[in-house]
A and B are shown apart, each in its own frame.
Chain A
Amino acid sequence: QKEVEQDPGPLSVPEGAIVSLNCTYSNSAFQYFMWYRQYSRKGPELLMYTYSSGNKEDGRFTAQVDKSSKYISLFIRDSQPSDSATYLCAMSDYGQNFVFGPGTRLSVLP
């Protein structure tokens, strides 16, 4: 079993839809969580981060952490074609050397 798992997709949605992206993990010590967006042929860029459990909102993006279920989510509201990318979750137990998920490829259709 991989330490961090994501559905690879591709996930195709119409413009304006609410998108839910998820990661599950096996290491209960993880308490730092990040979401990265990676456009084709580019390096990943940080979208959001959360510490421990709870929700965090930033514009159209909401990150949720459920440590009891070892499950994190990224929600995108009013999705746009420019949101088409691969989304990577990353997590760490002590805030360094983050472990990355394999990524979910999202396509938002105009």
Chain B
Amino acid sequence: NAGVTQTPKFQVLKTGQSMTLQCAQDMNHNSMYWYRQDPGMGLRLIYYSASEGTTDKGEVPNGYNVSRLNKREFSLRLESAAPSQTSVYFCASSENGEAIMDYGYTFGSGTRLTVV
């Protein structure tokens, strides 16, 4: 009953370094999402993928890229990290259509990223 698995759980980067956050789900969901959570700002959508092979920008995509590697995996890449990208990053997955209302989004446990 793994659900959504994110790696790593913690990371410290220096300004300008790059890294990839990994996410995998085992629920056969079509949709996957990347959010960032900052104090007072709530969850803000970075990118999402409604199905394998498609990705779309969310509210705050600048500085990030994503890859939907297959139905299970959705990665988030920071090409040149900046202190403004210090945040907690959550990956989520969901059903499409009306089924989303039965189960909502299933979230991973988050990646705490600090950029110094």
Contacts and interface: CB of A to CB of B under 8 A. Distances in A.
Interface string B35-51: 10000111111001010
B43 A88 contact: yes
B97 to A, nearest CB: 7
Contacts of A103: 42
Interface stretch (B12-20, B64-72, B78-86, B105-113): B105-113
B104 interface: yes
Contacts of B108: 43
B43 A44 contact: yes
Interface residues of A, number: 24
A88 B42 contact: yes
B104 A95 contact: no
Dominant secondary structure of chain B at its interface with chain A: mixed
A74 interface: no
A68 interface: no
Interface bracket on B: 20 to 34
B101 interface: yes
Contacts of B41: 102
A100 B104 contact: no
B108 to A, nearest CB: 5
B31 A96 contact: yes
B49 to A, nearest CB: 11
Interface stretch (A11-19, A34-42, A58-66): A34-42
Given A95-B97, A95-B98, A101 B107 contact: no
A46 B110 contact: no
